[in-house]
Structure 1
Amino acid sequence: MTDGNVDMSRRAFLGAAAGGAAVAATSGTAAAQTEEPDFGGYLDGIDGGYEDLRGESEVTIEVGAAGNGGDLAFAPAGIWIDPGTTVTWEWTGNGGGHNIKMEEGPASLDSGPAVAEAGTTYEYTFEEADAGISKYYCSPHQSLGMLGAVAVGGDVATITNEPEGGSNLPQVPDSAKALGVATSFAMVATLGLAYFFMKYGGDYDIQE
């Protein structure tokens, strides 16, 4: 094998290794997709964010957090919790008077009249009977987007949440983890072959 052929063989194997790495990287990104509760569009376009708080026995939500054109948000606006979790809504004192009222769902949320005083709290423990999705709002600021929702338990409808900037990535089914492992193995094997042929050469001559 000539030096030129050796270089071309090495480049070929390194190119294959790079391709394997790219596939593995794509699979890794796809596998990072997560499931979130499907709030049915109730929280679309509003501020406050979402947090998966399963595993927590106590959760706090700010009432009057920054958002929706003022201090008119629940933060986080959407949460996912386990049955038995106690949720405490705590008033920040910003954005005027707020309260908690039910829109729909299995829970029975009602904090009473709107209150503006900082440090005011309202607690509710979500039991098995509250499993599902409960949607609520602040009555003085409902039209401004001060909305919230609580998903309870594992038996709720979900949607796939893609990583930021991942909207153009290929969709991967539930077997994404297995695919990621397989492609990672392929990448390692290809790199091993590339190292072997770079060090010891090979019989893969390229005829000119």
Structure 2
Amino acid sequence: MSDTQMSRRAFLTAAGGTAAVAAGSGNAAAQTTEPDWGGHLDGVDGGYQDMRGQSEVTVEVGAEGNGGALAFAPAGIWVDPGTTVTWEWTGEGGGHNVVSSEGPASLDSGAPVSEAGTTYEHTFGEDQVGITKYHCAPHEALGMLGAVAVGSDIPTVEVGGGGGGSSAPQVPESAKTLGVATTFAMVATLGLAFFFMKYGGDYETPEE
């Protein structure tokens, strides 16, 4: 076997390994950690946001989703103990309310209302660490559901590429950038491999 053939084989082996590692790194970066909602938010519109680090956060009531203005947005949130969550009505989708289904916190905004600008507040204390699931009583069957995860001592799941709760997970910008870079690297590697196989890989200056 010639030195040129050996060089080609070594090059292709290294190229394949590099591409595989790059692709694997991109997949790993795209994964995110999300509270395990236990199926409560499966198929529900409204999305999910990690809002830890904020002392006050707002959730829209009557956001677009679930076949109308029948969503909480974000439907799933993750906050720190001591955070005050304000649910604010958009005025769309009819009368809504906020009522807890299960979990450490007791939520009850009262009778359903439809007036835009209506608010309901709740501060999640240290005694309410965990996941509290809630719903809109008139539209529970239509998927108007929400959940609040409080603190770090809660069950979580790794999600990536779609699925996993209320909606497709939001991929960080760093992961998107890495994905583009990975694709470019793979294309460049394959191009070099084709050139190497076609024209050979050992170029030596002939001795005079």
* Shorter-normalised TM range: 0.7 to 0.9
Task: Note closer, same or farther for the CA distance 1:71–1:125 as it changes in structure 2 (3 Å cut).
Answer: same
Establish whether residue 151 from structure 1 lines up as the match of residue 144 from structure 2: no
Aligned pairs (5 A) from 1:155-170: 155-164=153-162
Question: Cα distance, 1:31 vs. partner?
Answer: 4.2
Partner residue, 1:13: 10
* 1:32-59 Cα shifts (integer Å, max 9, x gaps): 3222111111111111111111122221
Aligned pairs (5 A) from 1:22-171: 22-28=19-25, 29-164=27-162
Taking every aligned residue pair, what percent have the same amino acid on both sides? Answer: 64
Alignment length (residue pairs): 172
Task: Note closer, same or farther for the CA distance 1:107–1:18 as it changes in structure 2 (3 Å cut).
Answer: same
CA distance in 1, matches of 2:203, 2:43: 60
CA distance in 2, matches of 1:12, 1:164: 38
CA distance in 2, matches of 1:90, 1:10: 66
CA distance in 2, matches of 1:76, 1:9: 57
Where do 5+ consecutive residues of structure 1 fail to align?
Answer: 166-190, 192-197, 202-208
Q: TM-score if structure 2 supplies the norm length?
A: 0.74
Q: TM-score if structure 1 supplies the norm length?
A: 0.74
CA distance in 1, matches of 2:203, 2:30: 38
Residue 148 of structure 1 aligns to a residue whose secondary structure is: strand
Residue 53 of structure 2 aligns to a residue whose secondary structure is: coil
CA distance in 1, matches of 2:49, 2:88: 17
Residue 26 of structure 1 aligns to a residue whose secondary structure is: helix
CA distance in 2, matches of 1:18, 1:163: 26
Residue 10 of structure 2 aligns to a residue whose secondary structure is: helix
Question: Cα distance, 1:17 vs. partner?
Answer: 2.7
Residue 117 of structure 1 aligns to a residue whose secondary structure is: coil
Residue 77 of structure 2 aligns to a residue whose secondary structure is: strand
Residue 94 of structure 1 aligns to a residue whose secondary structure is: coil
Question: Cα distance, 1:24 vs. partner?
Answer: 1.6
